[in-house]
């Protein structure tokens, strides 16, 4: 009775506030500081969520966003996602012009319904309803109201006042009403920094933000999502796809997850058991080798398809299904691989991770469903292996930049633990190259090149084995585009799946390299290892500098000059040693026609204060410039 009253109060509140706000929608009401660098401004955003003791989640979202230009159109957010467990009850939209006068009210026939798929290897019953609106003028303001209800309460919507780059916020608020006997945990990011007010009484949580200007993205900074204020809530009682749960610790959560999502779905078909037994008999006690062989078997008989249907949205397909269909998504393939490992007596666990190029940890301070990817954890006596199951070419035990160096949640039968995935330290990420180069009198250059990549430098190299010859040749030509008229021949690739290193060897011929000036030839000494990346300038850097992964280059080139020429000058380059890295280029004459170049570059991983950014930029500029240091050759005088 009490909660009903609360609901109707909220509805009345919305009706009144919408009326008031409509008049204030004129663009002139937006403070100047919020317009700077903004493609859109959120005028107000009110998200109210109610969770009932019967595990129903009802939401009302009302927001108004002013869009200034075409780049801001995707900020319109003209719709919402829904599926069988979370339905859209109501959807309204009205468009206003720059003066706050209504232009149009979008009608039911303007609502489009589509499934959230982009490709033919993606099945889902997640759908989206959205208004197909094409603006006729800028700026314009679009006001939305949506109402949802459903039975999944395990994932309480995250509140993000700012939702994308080049967006500012006038007002944004969030409210959660929940049964007061339940316990709420909250993870509040950057609330102090942005003066976000909040109030937490028994059964009600409120947060509101005001006047947040555009938060500019800077490159080589912490992950952008982590720089935006956000609030995530979770309750110790929840329901997911019809399964109720109670968890206050990761232990309890893991147990619930295992029992409801994974247990009983791992029956391995007899034919596959036989294959595993066969491998076992060939491999004996070597656990790693056994795991490798089983992993490669899975790779050869399955492929990745994105399946996010109903229960498939949270539960993986059964082992039997994957075995029969030969495909699955990351949940299904990881679950399948895990079950096969266990069948062979190898410890293996289903692990939830935030996958992506930037290492982002699972937030362990809050027990809640997080992450976007599943991998398999194989904890052995003296090492822990992490297994990526969605890539058929990836070698066993290598996870690359997709899932490295981040805290993940490992689901055990009786709980869950937090573990960090493989770290690829700077010293491991080595690329060694070696080349013999001959410059001919007519300017043509011939070289045989060998490159070996280790650690994170190995990432995705193994995909080159599947690349067609002509595409490989184009790739090398682009990589070394400062050689003119290059042809690439005799490409040999070697993938060492045990030591996780990759070797590329080839013969290069090019029409020219470097430059001619009168009787002189200038040859940049970096040859096949010129590091040309220079980070952008930020005269007033705000964010710390973050280099996620460091690496080392070690190169040796032997360069033979043409007949009829002599070495006029060899650059003498000082070693650079900074907190960002080390660079050393030595160029030495071996004899009158042979020059040996030794190059060493170490770019260090780390986090640095914003004030140091320009020093980093300077370091990278120096490296790029010194890699082009010229050796000067001059035509020998023909003595009369």
Partner 1 sequence: MKLHLALILFFIATSSLSLANEPNVRFRRIPKEDLKQTSHPLDPEAEAAILYQSCRRSITYNRSVGFQLRTRLHQRIKIYTQDGQSWGDFDIPYSKDAQFARFRAYTYNLEDGKEVEIRLNNRDIYTEDVSQFTNLRRFAMPGVVAGSIIDIDYEIVEPARSSFQPFIKQHTIPVDYSEYIVDIPEYFIFNRSTKGLPLIMDIQNSEYNEGETFIDSSGNSYRVTFKVSRDNYIAHNVPALRPEPFVPSMSNYQSAITYELSELHPPHSRTISFSRTWGDIVRSLMEDRNFGGQITTRIRETESFLAEITDLPEIERIEKIYYYVRDNHEWNGNYGELAQNGVRNLLSERTGNIGDINLLLLNMLKSSNIDAKPVVMSSRNNGFLNLAHPTYQQLNYLIIAIQREENMMLLDATDKNMLVGYLPLRALNLDGILIESSNSGKRIEIENPNKGSKQTIAIIQLNDDLTINCTARLTYLNHSSIVKRSQIRSHQNEEEYIKSLMDKHPSIDITSYNVEGLKDISNQVVETFEFTSNGYIEQIGDMLYISPLLLWQTDESPFKSEKREFAVFYPDAGIETYLITFQTPEGYKIESTPQPVQMILPENIGSMLYNISISDNTIQIHYRYIRNETIVSPSNYEYLRDFMIHKIEKQNERIVLRKI
The distance of closest approach from Cβ of residue 117 to partner 1 in the complex, given in angstroms and rounded to an integer, is 7
By CB under 8 A, name the one of 511, 575, 579, 589 that touches partner 1. Answer: 511
Letters for 34-53 (x = contact with partner 1 by CB under 8 A, - = none) are: ---x-x--------------
Residues 577-636 contacting partner 1, CB under 8 A: 621, 624-625, 629-630, 632
Letters for 550-569 (x = contact with partner 1 by CB under 8 A, - = none) are: ------------------xx
Tokens 């660079």 belong to which residue?
583
Q: Which residues pair with 378 in a beta bridge?
A: 385
Letters for 299-338 (x = contact with partner 1 by CB under 8 A, - = none) are: -xx-x-x------------------xxxx-----------
Q: Which residue, 28 or 466, is less far from partner 1 as judged by CB?
A: 466
By CB under 8 A, is residue 31 in contact with partner 1? no
By CB under 8 A, is residue 518 in contact with partner 1? yes
The distance of closest approach from Cβ of residue 122 to partner 1 in the complex, given in angstroms and rounded to an integer, is 8
The distance of closest approach from Cβ of residue 477 to partner 1 in the complex, given in angstroms and rounded to an integer, is 4
Q: 198 with 191: CB under 8 angstroms?
A: yes
CA distance 626 to 623: 5
Phi then psi dihedrals of residue 271, to 5 deg? -60, -40
Q: Which residue, 54 or 478, is less far from partner 1 as judged by CB?
A: 478
Residue 361 to residues 221, 409, 421: CA-CA distances in angstroms? Answer: 16, 10, 10
DSSP, collapsed to helix, strand or coil, labels residue 142 as strand
The distance of closest approach from Cβ of residue 607 to partner 1 in the complex, given in angstroms and rounded to an integer, is 23
Which window, 20-28, 79-87, 190-198, 531-539, contacts partner 1 (CB under 8 A)? 531-539
By CB under 8 A, is residue 464 in contact with partner 1? no
Residue (of 373, 428, 374, 401) closest to 548 by Cα position: 401
Residue 630 to residues 185, 517, 570: CA-CA distances in angstroms? Answer: 62, 12, 7
Integer distance in angstroms from the first to the last C-alpha of the chain?
Answer: 113
Which window, 225-233, 258-266, 375-383, 471-479, contacts partner 1 (CB under 8 A)? 471-479
By CB under 8 A, name the one of 105, 537, 575, 589 that touches partner 1. Answer: 537
By CB under 8 A, name the one of 6, 358, 412, 477 that touches partner 1. Answer: 477
DSSP, collapsed to helix, strand or coil, labels residue 431 as strand
| Peptide linkage before 139 cis (omega within 30 of 0) | yes
Residues 106-125 contacting partner 1, CB under 8 A: 113-115, 117, 119-121, 123
By CB under 8 A, is residue 490 in contact with partner 1? no
DSSP 403: H
By CB under 8 A, name the one of 516, 575, 579, 589 that touches partner 1. Answer: 516
CA distance 7 to 418: 39
CA distance 159 to 498: 45
By CB under 8 A, name the one of 519, 574, 590, 592 that touches partner 1. Answer: 519
Q: 352 with 330: CB under 8 angstroms?
A: no
CA distance 582 to 602: 5
CA distance 215 to 188: 18
- Reported in sequence order, the residue ranges of 293-356 that DSSP labels E, i.e. its strands, are 303-304, 306-308, 327-328, 349-353
DSSP 278: H
By CB under 8 A, name the one of 102, 211, 282, 515 that touches partner 1. Answer: 515
Burial class from Cβ neighbours inside 10 Å (0-12, 13-18, 19+) for residue 585 reads buried
The distance of closest approach from Cβ of residue 191 to partner 1 in the complex, given in angstroms and rounded to an integer, is 28
Pairing between β-strand 197-201 and β-strand 204-212 as defined by DSSP bridges: antiparallel
CB neighbours of residue 409 within 10 Å = 25
Q: Which residue, 499 or 572, is less far from partner 1 as judged by CB?
A: 572
> Which residues are CB-contacts of 115 (< 8 A; sequence separation ≥ 6)?
124, 125, 126, 127, 128
By CB under 8 A, name the one of 182, 191, 194, 482 that touches partner 1. Answer: 482
By CB under 8 A, is residue 517 in contact with partner 1? yes
The distance of closest approach from Cβ of residue 123 to partner 1 in the complex, given in angstroms and rounded to an integer, is 6
> Which residues are CB-contacts of 168 (< 8 A; sequence separation ≥ 6)?
34, 35, 36, 38, 40, 41, 42, 162, 212, 213, 214
The distance of closest approach from Cβ of residue 537 to partner 1 in the complex, given in angstroms and rounded to an integer, is 6
CA distance 13 to 194: 26
Q: Which residue, 197 or 519, is less far from partner 1 as judged by CB?
A: 519
Tell which phi-psi region holds residue 617, choosing left (phi > 0), alpha (psi between -120 and 50) or beta: alpha
Letters for 391-410 (x = contact with partner 1 by CB under 8 A, - = none) are: -xx-----------------
Which window, 4-12, 19-27, 530-538, 601-609, contacts partner 1 (CB under 8 A)? 530-538
By CB under 8 A, name the one of 54, 108, 478, 609 that touches partner 1. Answer: 478
- For 622, the token pair is 């120096």
The distance of closest approach from Cβ of residue 115 to partner 1 in the complex, given in angstroms and rounded to an integer, is 6
By CB under 8 A, name the one of 213, 455, 514, 550 that touches partner 1. Answer: 514
The distance of closest approach from Cβ of residue 302 to partner 1 in the complex, given in angstroms and rounded to an integer, is 8
The distance of closest approach from Cβ of residue 265 to partner 1 in the complex, given in angstroms and rounded to an integer, is 18
Q: Which residues bind partner 1 (CB under 8 A)?
A: 37, 39, 104, 113-115, 117, 119-121, 123, 134-137, 166, 300-301, 303, 305, 324-327, 392-393, 466, 468-470, 474, 477-478, 481-482, 484-487, 511-512, 514-520, 522, 534, 536-537, 568-569, 571, 621, 624-625, 629-630, 632
């Amino acid at each position: 009775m009490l909660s009903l009253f609360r609901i109707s109060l909220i509805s009345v509140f919305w009706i009144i506030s919408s009326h008031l706000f409509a008049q204030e929608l004129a663009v002139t009401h937006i403070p100047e500081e919020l317009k700077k660098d903004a493609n859109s401004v959120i005028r107000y955003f009110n998200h109210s969520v109610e969770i009932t003791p019967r595990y129903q989640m009802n939401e009302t979202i009302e927001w108004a966003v002013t869009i200034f230009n075409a780049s801001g159109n995707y900020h319109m957010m003209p719709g919402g996602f829904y599926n069988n467990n979370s339905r859209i009850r109501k959807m309204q939209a009205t468009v206003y012009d720059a003066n706050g006068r209504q232009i149009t009210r979008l009608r039911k026939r303007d609502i489009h319904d589509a499934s959230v798929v982009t490709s033919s290897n993606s099945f889902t019953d997640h759908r989206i309803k959205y208004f197909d609106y094409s603006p006729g003028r800028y700026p314009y303001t679009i006001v939305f109201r949506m109402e949802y209800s459903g039975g999944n309460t395990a994932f309480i919507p995250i509140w993000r006042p700012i939702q994308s780059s080049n967006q500012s916020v006038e007002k944004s608020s969030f409210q959660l009403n929940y049964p007061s006997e339940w316990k709420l945990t909250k993870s509040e990011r950057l609330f102090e920094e942005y003066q976000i007010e909040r109030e937490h009484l028994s059964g009600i949580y409120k947060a509101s933000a005001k006047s947040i200007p555009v938060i500019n993205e800077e490159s080589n900074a912490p992950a952008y999502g982590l720089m935006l204020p956000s609030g995530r809530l979770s309750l110790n009682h929840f329901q997911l796809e019809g399964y109720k749960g109670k968890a206050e610790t990761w232990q309890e959560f893991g147990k619930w997850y295992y029992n409801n999502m994974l247990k009983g779905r791992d029956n391995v078909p007899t034919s596959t058991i036989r294959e595993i037994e066969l491998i076992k008999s060939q491999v004996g006690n070597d656990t790693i080798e056994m795991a490798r062989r089983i992993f490669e078997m899975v790779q050869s008989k399955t492929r990745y398809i994105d399946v996010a249907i109903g229960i498939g949205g949270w539960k993986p397909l059964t082992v039997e299904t994957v075995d029969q269909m030969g495909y699955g998504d990351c949940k299904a393939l990881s679950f399948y691989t895990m079950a096969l490992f266990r069948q062979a007596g190898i410890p293996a666990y289903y692990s939830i991770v935030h996958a992506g190029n930037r290492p982002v940890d699972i937030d362990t301070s809050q027990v809640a469903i997080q992450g976007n990817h599943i991998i398999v954890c194989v904890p052995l006596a003296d090492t822990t292996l992490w297994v990526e199951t969605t890539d058929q070419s990836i070698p066993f035990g290598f996870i690359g930049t997709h899932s490295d160096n981040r805290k993940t949640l490992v689901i055990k039968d009786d709980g869950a633990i937090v573990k960090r995935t493989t770290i690829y330290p700077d010293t491991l990420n080595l690329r060694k190259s070696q080349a013999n180069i001959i410059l001919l009198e007519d300017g043509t250059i011939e070289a045989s090149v060998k490159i070996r990549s280790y650690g994170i430098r190995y990432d995705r190299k193994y995909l080159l084995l599947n690349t067609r010859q002509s595409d490989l040749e184009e790739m090398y030509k682009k990589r070394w585009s400062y050689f003119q008229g290059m042809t690439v021949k005799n490409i040999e690739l070697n993938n060492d799946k045990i030591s996780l290193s990759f070797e590329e060897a080839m013969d290069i011929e090019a029409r020219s390299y470097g430059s001619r000036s009168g009787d002189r030839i200038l040859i940049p000494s970096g040859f096949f290892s010129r590091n040309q990346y220079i980070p952008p300038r930020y005269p007033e850097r705000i964010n710390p500098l973050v280099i996620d992964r460091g690496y080392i280059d070690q190169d040796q080139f032997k360069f033979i000059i043409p007949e009829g020429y002599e070495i006029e000058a060899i650059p003498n380059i000082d070693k650079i040693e900074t907190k960002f890295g080390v660079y050393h280029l030595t160029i030495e004459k071996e004899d009158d026609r042979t020059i040996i170049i030794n190059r060493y570059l170490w770019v260090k991983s780390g986090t640095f204060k914003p004030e140091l950014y320009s020093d980093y930029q300077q370091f990278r500029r120096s490296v790029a410039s010194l890699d082009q240091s010229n050796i000067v050759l001059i035509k020998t005088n023909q003595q009369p």
